[in-house]
Chain A
Amino acid sequence: MTDALVHLAVALPLATALLVPLARGARLARLVVAGALLTAAAAGALGVVALADHAEPARGHWYVVDAAGGVYLLVVAAIGLLSALASPGYLGPAHRGFFAEHRSRPAYYVALLAFWAVLLAVPLVDNLVVAWILVEATTAASAVLVAFSGGRLALEAGWKYLVLTTLGLTVALLGIVVLYALLASGGSVLGTLDWDAIRAGAGAIDGDAAVFALVLILAGLAAKIGWAPVHNWLPDAHSEAPPPVSALLSAALLPTVMLVAWRTLAALDPAVGRTGGALFLAFGLVSLAVAVPFLWRRLPIKRLLAYSSLEHMGVLALGIGFGTPLALAGVVIHVAGHALAKSLGFYATIPLLRRDRTLATEAPVSLNSTSPAAAGAVGLSLASLSGLPPSPLFVSEVLILAGGVAAGEIAVVAVAAALLALGFLGLAHALIEGVAGDAPREPVASRRAARRLLALTAAIGCALLALPAAAYGLIDSALVADLMRGVG
């Protein structure tokens, strides 16, 4: 059963992508919706199985279905489905962009589905170098999606993303080769880099060499996660990509690549000790410090959401770096809460940008006056992302900071708390100025689009309210205890 679900979750989006060139017009949209629903059902079921059977992770030839993988699968499945469903609203009439006019729509869906398939595979793979190959494979599909519109700014963002992340991942690969050389005992065996094999061999390798390998791997993956100071592509790519792609990049890609970093840290723990956690804390604090000043600036909404991604990847790094049960419970809630809130913010920009292109380059003002539905969605997104109670991100940040205190990292917690408070004020300012306003004048979104956005806002709002309750159940739970033993 689990084996079938694993293969269905990855094969269904790929099979749908293969069928895309054969469909046209309304059939194409129906095919993508059907493929996306089936994929989300398979991946969602697999995620539930992973969380239900977390004490004994199922293993196959190339995969492991563990608790951490289950959390990420559920997130990637949900965001992938929402992005597929939101895409027709973005695409509109075909036009010459990165692809020729007659090919633009099929090419978009092929790239989106391939990107989603690889993202679903990453949390499942049981091997560091295979995870690297998959992460690198996301670059090609996502780079063309970032540049999909074919505009000057989109080309610039896509090119920066391609070059910076490819170079970063090359550094990570060098680290993986160094680690392989430390662990391999003469033979050429792929299983040497299985998560369990790394953990088993880590106790016997030179600690300094293992730290050097980990530094290379983390520094390289940081470029893809968007951790400062190697985050330069992130605001550009998130702001120029089509909104459904921005949602996938921010809510699914970044945390999924961070899972690879987390698994590497857990596997190398016997060799690197607290140094590994300290590296995560350093990336976390620097990312927060770099992001917060931008949260205070008047930025276009998608760019503001991008800098918020930088902030939240920093928060996740802190939680993983603290590594205590409270912090890891916070990480689980934060991954889910950030994904829902951030994707809602990006989806809300679809009707806004369709009617008012100036919002692509200017900060929004009083959205409620022109688009109450979009204002509601953006408001819920920004309120949640800022950590305003009862947002699950408020709960998760409190858990992570409490976990930091439990880890004895008082100075890091103090600095992080101050930065998070400043970030909250910055986003609250954007929320008040950008969303609140006079009574509606002339709606800019169509009634149909407004109704859809309201329904999505209500659904995500309910899910966001449910997450704090889940957080209460996670504290001292067996699931977190399994995460503590190592995410593989």
Chain B
Amino acid sequence: MIAEPVLWALVGLALGLVVVRRRSAGVAVLAAQSLLLGVIAVDHAVTEHGSVPAAVAILVIRGVVLPLVLVQVIRLTREPRRVASERSALLRFVLALAVALVAIGLAPPLGLHDEAAGDAALALVVLGIAVAALRRPVVFQAIGFLVAENGVLLAGLAVSGGLPAIVELGLLVDLVLAVGVAGAFGARIHERFGTSDTSVLRSLRD
């Protein structure tokens, strides 16, 4: 079982990503959340005789490597000013919190070994989607899907016996590919539009 304060911390960090202003601060919050999950994964692997190398890979890749990729994207895509197209932080916070509460209220129990962790996992997935939907900078949208993936990782940790190590490693490979491609997109979008504010990507409509 994962301690409730830890679950609250994970959800609180996700909520922080909805409101935090600077992209670098966002990456720091994501790294903190991923490191916390990585530590839980290593603890589970040690205490429940799981795969320690897979858990360490989760810790290092999610908590260190992927945030460093995003830091590199920020370095390559310096913004002359704040992204002006974003809604107010308070409105974003209220919207994200409301959607997360509604999702947890409507969804039946996930049937995981640790139900509180199941609720927190669902909250992280919903908040990740909210971050991607409500934030405009490319980096925050990439952070959104990493937060949602962190939710799935938490759900996996709450399954009795955990997910098979080969699955964890396969997911990591996909995650590295997705973040790598997202980083390349961030650089190209900035190069082409002079900003990584995705509100400029609104030409394709019928």
Question: When the two chains form their complex, are residues A162 and B181 in contact, meaning their CB atoms are under 8 A apart?
Answer: yes
Question: When the two chains form their complex, are residues A177 and B141 in contact, meaning their CB atoms are under 8 A apart?
Answer: no
In B149-165, the 8 Å CB interface with A consists of 149, 151-152, 155-156, 158-165
Provide 19 A-B residue pairs closer than 8 Å at the C-beta atoms, listed in order of the A residue.
A98-B188, A144-B181, A155-B188, A155-B192, A162-B178, A163-B144, A167-B145, A171-B148, A177-B159, A181-B110, A181-B158, A184-B160, A186-B160, A187-B161, A190-B167, A208-B108, A209-B108, A235-B206, A239-B204
Question: When the two chains form their complex, are residues B155 and A174 in contact, meaning their CB atoms are under 8 A apart?
Answer: yes
Q: Which residue of B lies closest to A159 (CB)?
A: B185
CB-CB under 8 A from A441, the residues of chain B are: none
Q: Select which of A98, A139, A150, A236 is within 8 A of B178 by beta carbon.
A: A139
Question: When the two chains form their complex, are residues A174 and B160 in contact, meaning their CB atoms are under 8 A apart?
Answer: no
Question: When the two chains form their complex, are residues A159 and B201 in contact, meaning their CB atoms are under 8 A apart?
Answer: yes
Q: Is A374 an interface residue (CB 8 A)?
A: no
Q: Select which of B107, B112, B121 is within 8 A of A212 by beta carbon.
A: B107
The distance in angstroms between the C-alpha atoms of A8 and B111, with both chains bound, is: 41
Question: When the two chains form their complex, are residues B125 and A174 in contact, meaning their CB atoms are under 8 A apart?
Answer: yes
Q: Is B96 an interface residue (CB 8 A)?
A: no
Q: Is B15 an interface residue (CB 8 A)?
A: no
Question: When the two chains form their complex, are residues A167 and B148 in contact, meaning their CB atoms are under 8 A apart?
Answer: yes
Chain A 168-212 interface mask (CB, 8 Å, partner B; 1/0): 001101100110111010111110000000000000001011001
- Chain A interface: which size bin? 35 or more
CB-CB under 8 A from B163, the residues of chain A are: 177, 180, 188
The distance in angstroms between the C-alpha atoms of A303 and B111, with both chains bound, is: 43
Give 17 new A-B contacts, CB below 8 A, not counting A174-B121, A186-B160.
Answer: A140-B180, A144-B184, A155-B185, A159-B189, A162-B181, A163-B141, A167-B129, A170-B129, A173-B149, A174-B152, A177-B152, A178-B110, A181-B112, A181-B113, A181-B155, A188-B161, A188-B164
Minimum distance in angstroms from B116 CB to a CB of chain A: 14
| Chain B binding surface, main DSSP class | helix
Minimum distance in angstroms from A125 CB to a CB of chain B: 11
In B173-196, the 8 Å CB interface with A consists of 173-174, 177-178, 180-182, 184-185, 188-189, 192-193
Q: Select which of A160, A171, A181 is within 8 A of B159 by beta carbon.
A: A181
In the complex with contacts A137-B177, A178-B110, A162-B182 CB distance below 8 A:
yes
In B65-117, the 8 Å CB interface with A consists of 107-113
Minimum distance in angstroms from A220 CB to a CB of chain B: 10
* B-side interface residues, number (CB < 8 Å): 55
Question: When the two chains form their complex, are residues A167 and B128 in contact, meaning their CB atoms are under 8 A apart?
Answer: yes
Question: When the two chains form their complex, are residues A171 and B125 in contact, meaning their CB atoms are under 8 A apart?
Answer: yes
Q: Is B30 an interface residue (CB 8 A)?
A: no
Q: Is B171 an interface residue (CB 8 A)?
A: yes
Question: When the two chains form their complex, are residues B159 and A159 in contact, meaning their CB atoms are under 8 A apart?
Answer: no
Q: Select which of B162, B177, B188 is within 8 A of A147 by beta carbon.
A: B188
Minimum distance in angstroms from B5 CB to a CB of chain A: 23
CB-CB under 8 A from B193, the residues of chain A are: 152, 155
CB-CB under 8 A from A137, the residues of chain B are: 173-174, 177
Q: Which residue of B lies closest to A166 (CB)?
A: B145
CB-CB under 8 A from B177, the residues of chain A are: 137, 139-140
The distance in angstroms between the C-alpha atoms of A178 and B174, with both chains bound, is: 20
Minimum distance in angstroms from B104 CB to a CB of chain A: 13
Q: Is A27 an interface residue (CB 8 A)?
A: no
Q: Is B203 an interface residue (CB 8 A)?
A: yes
CB-CB under 8 A from B129, the residues of chain A are: 167, 170-171
